[in-house]
Structure 1
Amino acid sequence: MEADVLNALKSRIVYISGGVDLDSNLLVVVQLPAEQQPWTRRHIELSINYLLSSLSKSSLSNGLVAIVDVQKCSWRLARDLIKFITQQLDDNLVKLYAVRNDAFSVQTCAKSYKRGEPIVISKSRLNKFFNLSELPIEIGGLQHYNHDEWIRNRMQIDEFKKFFELTVTSIKTLKENLANTDSMRSSEIEQTMKLCSITYNEIQKHIKQLLNNGNKLISHIVEWQSREAILSQDILDAREEIKIRLNEIEREQTSLSLLWNDLEKSLDDVKELMQLEEGVSYVTNWILSTAESLLNGQLKVGYDVQSAEKLRLDHEILEFQCWKTYGYYGELLYKIDNFPGNKESFAFKDLLSQRDFMDFVCRSFATRLERRRNLLITSVRFYRLVAEYFSRTSNVFESLLQTQSDNMDNFEIAKVKLQKIKESQLSLGSIEKELVKEGEKLSDILSMPIKDSMSRDIEVDYSEDIANLREVLDAAKTRFKIFSDSLDIQKLTLEQITNIHSCEKDAETAIKWVESLYKVMLKSHTHVGCNVSEIQNQKDEHQAFQDTAKSTFNYGIQLLNAAFALRQSCKLSSDKNLETIDQLKKTWKNLHAVSQEQMTRLRVSAVFYRSVDEHCAKLEQLKASVIKLKDIEERERKIVKLRKYLAVRERLLVEVGRMVRLGRLLRTRLKEPFVLNNDLESMSSEENIIALPTDNSIATDSISAKLIEVSRVAESLDAVLHETQDALNIFENNNTATVAVASTSTSVIDRKTSAGNTSDDWNNSLKSSTEDESFVTASEYATSRSSSYHTASECRDHSPWWTDTAERSSVDLDSSASDPEQQPIIKVLSASSSSANASFDNSENSFRSPISFIDQNDSDSKVKAESERSTSPVLPPKVPSPIEDYNLPPILTSSDKKIYTIFESPTSTPSQEDEIVERKMEIDPFDERELYNKGAASKNDIVATTISTIVVHGGPLQLVIALLRVRKS
């Protein structure tokens, strides 16, 4: 320890007491004097540097907490010294506390701490940041710190370190002297050992003394620690450092002893090196003389299998003679590589040079010997492949000629022959490639230069052998080319025949798949759901089923077309192929027909359920609107509203009637089986699956329930309308007209009921449903006289009750008409509706028209009635509520019956009268229907034409009824 450092430490201006704060940071105490002296900063700097050097890195890693006692000095001096202390501690400082008298201001204490700024605090408040047992007595703690004893221990520790450094330096110097003996001879090594023996013994004594002093110092520190409650951290770090240095000096002592022992063994190593040099010289001389002369006597390669095999045997004898020298060579290499002595000596380096030359000579000779062996092996293999190739090609040519003369129609034989030809072609191809490869390899080896053991070129003439080799290769290649052309033609023919069989076999499998799909469809895909969502799921599943079947059919057709093309290419009979195509198309036709029928049923069912729900909702909405009429107090306004609702009801019931006919037709269709044609008679009765009508019993029951529901809703609407009419009490003077019209409507009901079971042809009326995603109702078609009913737009031209009000939207139920003059003549319901209120299940047209028949020819009375409505509206009598027909003519005043000629034809447009059946019928004037004003303007006797649909077993039938008026004479 230097004198100035010792004086600085004795001044006790900076010391480490061994205490820590609450965060386990090491405590450094600084006692500032009352007045600054010239040596104050120097002592602080030396003390801090010494203390930092005495602490280990692990102790400094946690950081230091400095407590500066400024009670004796002024605050101005304290601030300068605190700043200086902070600079000296630098990054090791975590916090700095400045302890002042208890009377100082506490404003600084209230500030938040910032790194680099001191925390000014009184002595009495240190207990908030430190445990008093960790603080020395000088600053208000309880620790008894002995600074003098600390200095004595530090001096002993520094003396130990100094003696340790001197000992280590001596050991390193001796090692360097002993290490230089590698380049010395054996005599020089002995002289060096005598000179270094004295130094070696002295170093051993110093090491022993150093170990003794270090152990004593450790024991003293342990004893001191047992007496003191808290020991300074630098002393604890010094104890650990002493232990490390003691271990280090022990390792140095061990290494020095080993080095000295190695030097003693180096003398024995020199003798062993001399023996190894003699062995290396013997091996090198034998290779360069005897072995080279033996190998130069063997240069030929042979011209066939026998000569090449003889030369290979002679070469094996030469290799056997070299094995003994090779063994000795390997032993020398092992001893030199595993030499136990000093490998850095000049003698060993000389031996390594000789060994490298021996290794080069032996490897060069072994390379030439290996090249000669590979040359002979390649020659033997090449001539063997040539002999095998010519023999195999001859056999394959004979079998090829025999294959061409055999019958090619047998698929099994063709498959076996094709497999044999492929195997032969692959085998001969591999032999030919191997032959060419070995020939080129042999030619390359012969063309390469030859070098002796000293890597000197040896001139050897292999031109004759190379020319012979080229001739053999050219002959083999020519033979293979001729053979490959013939074999490829025969293989192509056999492959086409095999592909024909494969395609037709796969096509038969496709037919079985289509048949299986057909059976599965008849068994599992003929049901119809009972609601829209269920039917939509069935449509999706059925569409996927159709796609699968179509893909299978296309797959089979493509296979059969490919087989047909191959048969024509091979000039084989294609009768079987055509039969298979017909069978596949027939099976697909049956499946496609039933599939389309099922898809049509699903689409029509979806339209029916959706439309019925919509119509029921509209009827309920209309019913609610009629009920709301009770809340209206004005009579005229009620009548106007009622007139509007009756018109809306007319339009709505037209659509309801159409959907009812569709539901009945659908219900009848669902009861019919799918398989009805004669195309399936070829299938056995056991395998033929028929979808019976009872399979869709749930669906038909659901349709019937829907029909009953819509009938119930319509009847409830009529009941509400009757109640509203009765409440208005506007038919007191019209009983006579009511009876007349009621009788007329009854006759119409009877006639319409007789034709209520007729229907349009299923395939004609629903043909568009098979093409679209949803069924197209009759209201979506253009106006046609051939339809079984008239749309609302057509009735406007023929019916007397279609006026401006009828053109209003059926949804606009709550709109009011402010001007009664703009409304049509009201058509109201009869009070007696129970007898005529037939259900939808008993008649094709479930309701009869509520419109009374007013003579349209009497325009004067009509104008008069229109003018009188503004003062006291007088309404015509009520008629039966259920609708029998949608387009009724005005009431005729004449009571004479007229005779009409009726022609019935199976088509809607008969061209000649002899093609139809003529019947006579008397029709009451009240029953005249479809005879509108356009009939009067017609120049011929044909007044009107209508089509009725009759549903019969086995399918629909269309009848055209032409009503002809007989001219009066």
Structure 2
Amino acid sequence: MEASTILPVLKKKLAFLSGGKDRRSGLILTIPLCTEQTSMEELSSTLDYLLGIPSEKCKARGFTVIVDGRKSQWNVVKTVVLMLQNVIPAEVSLVCVVKPDEFWDKKVTHFCFWKEKDRLGFEVILVSANKLTRYIEPCQLTDEFGGSLQYDHMDWVNKRLVFEKFTKESTSLLDELAVINENEKTSQPDKPRPSDCNALPSFDPETVLQTGHELLSELQQRRFNGSEGGGGGVGGGGGGGTAWSPMDDELLAQPQVMKLLDSLRELYTKYQEVCRQRSKRSQLEEIQTKVMQVVNWLEGPGTDQLRTQWGIGDSIRASQALQLKHEEIESQHSEWFAVYVELNQQMAALLSAGDDEDLLELKALQQQLSDVCYRQASQLEFRQNVLQSAHEFHGTAQDLSQQLDGLLGMLCADVAPADGAAIQQTLKHLEEKLKSVEGALQSLREKGQVLLEQISNQTSWFYGKEMQIENKENVDHVHSVMEDMQLRKQRCEDMVDVRRLKMLQMVQLFKCEEDASQAVEWLGELLDALLKTHIRLGDDSQETKVLLEKHRKFVDVAQSTYDYGRQLLQATVVLCQSLRCTTRSSGDTLPRLNRVWKQFTVTADERQHRLDMASSFHTAAERVLKEGCEQVEVLEVEVFEEVETVGKALLDRLTVPVIFPDGSEQFFGSPGDMASSAENIRDKMKLVEDKRLQHEEEEEEEEEEELEAEHLQEEAALEAGPDES
């Protein structure tokens, strides 16, 4: 009977072996009756189980049964005692019925157990709890009987469950391990192994061993503590300290646990070696299977996938599609490469701890797997490099084509720049685009050369065999793209040269137009300066001569400016004819130039005329105003008249405006400037007039003096005549 089958009954504590012993070293069996009705069937089962625990040697010493009837009725106690006769008559040597202190006294006479000793087979005594120590030592009694023996029934039940579980599992495990080890020993490595050879035990040996060691440690610790408690002999309970359970050699068979553990360790050690050999064998078989799976796939479907992928595409989109396809192939390969890495690690671990007979096979497998994987990986990498180069080549070709299209569109568009700066900016833009195109073409050549070298180095995807792949289509495509781009670039360069020449001519045209307009502005500024600042006529003849000289130089500058403007406008006409710019011409620049020039010539002529008159006026006036009698004597009336005539004419001239060909009028300087010049002329004319009057007076005086002298001579002659006579 096992404790687990009657566990609910055992937990009721209907009877228990406390571990205490009587003076004959017999075990004490305690039956604590309670106020509730005790099931005789359950009590019988409990007694059957408890009496099956001690060894035969222990049973031979007999049991002392304590029936605690203090909380029960007399008829129940009597029934229990009679039941002991049927259950364990031979093993019971003494039954101590613990009676209540004030009860049963009258009923004892009706039934005396001592009279029935021969019929019962054991002695029955009625005793109170405080007198129980007459028969049993206090240290062997539990606390409910005034003893010092500690007992925890639930702890005892749990330990019994552990012990029985360990005993059952270890016994079963020993049988299974013995069968497994024997089967492994008789099997032949070269022949197929039956499926039952790889059977596993029903229980985990490590767990069972751990349970056994913990149980043994608990038993040894309790026995040690119990013996230190002092008293009770072998397995006797001690007072105080750790709760004592009947787990000594006699009640729980500690040697049986030790024997089971020893046998279990021995068979488990052999089983571990069996498992190690089995695991190694299984691992080798699994590795070999996986290695062949990897090799077969890489040399089969993997190689077929690569063998069909050799093109480079004819555009960037096609090359991208090929790259995506290659990425799918790489993704499939990466799964097998991951298996390779795992297998390689497993084989490396086995090689580091393997037996000599396994090394050669493992090394051969490892080498075969590594060769195939590295070879396939190098082919994948080479193919990826070719596709990457093709993608870069097509990308550069596409970029170059777009640049050439943009440049061609720019060259084909009509040129209608607003000014020379816009033309210069356009020229700069053209040069930058052409330079960018040249750089892109050079990059295309370099990438094309790299791609051609890679294509020429391609080999067949068959392992160990090299054969030329049909790469003519790829090579022709690369050369065709580069030649086409070169021709397009050359055409654009020729068009750029033509456009550059046209642009330069347009720059020259704009420059001529700009300079011609500038010449008109300069001529206008000269005219404005002539009218506003060239107003002085000089204070004397010398100053007037200087002004005349400056005027001639000023007119020469204006003439040069006019001639320069005419030349620029003529060049503009020629450039427009060369550029076929029918919409452009000299515009109003030539009429403005001619108009300003005519105004300037009229004004310059007027200025010249006034300066000439001023020179004549000052020259004549200075002849009159010079000091010296000899000069005065030679002055004639015409000189004075000339001064007066020229001066009046000059004054009249100053009041007359310059009349331009278009009928407009313009005065020299401001009215104040003209008044100042007229005042100077009038002052000088007054001086000449004064000089004339003075001259006339002097002439009258001279005439009077001459008349007087003649008169005196005549008188003197008249006086001399009489004297002579």
TM-score class normalised by the smaller sequence: 0.3 to 0.5
Which structure would you say has the larger Rg? 2
> Which structure features the higher share of helix residues?
2
Q: Give the structure-2-normalised TM-score.
A: 0.40
TM-score normalised by the chain length of structure 1: 0.31
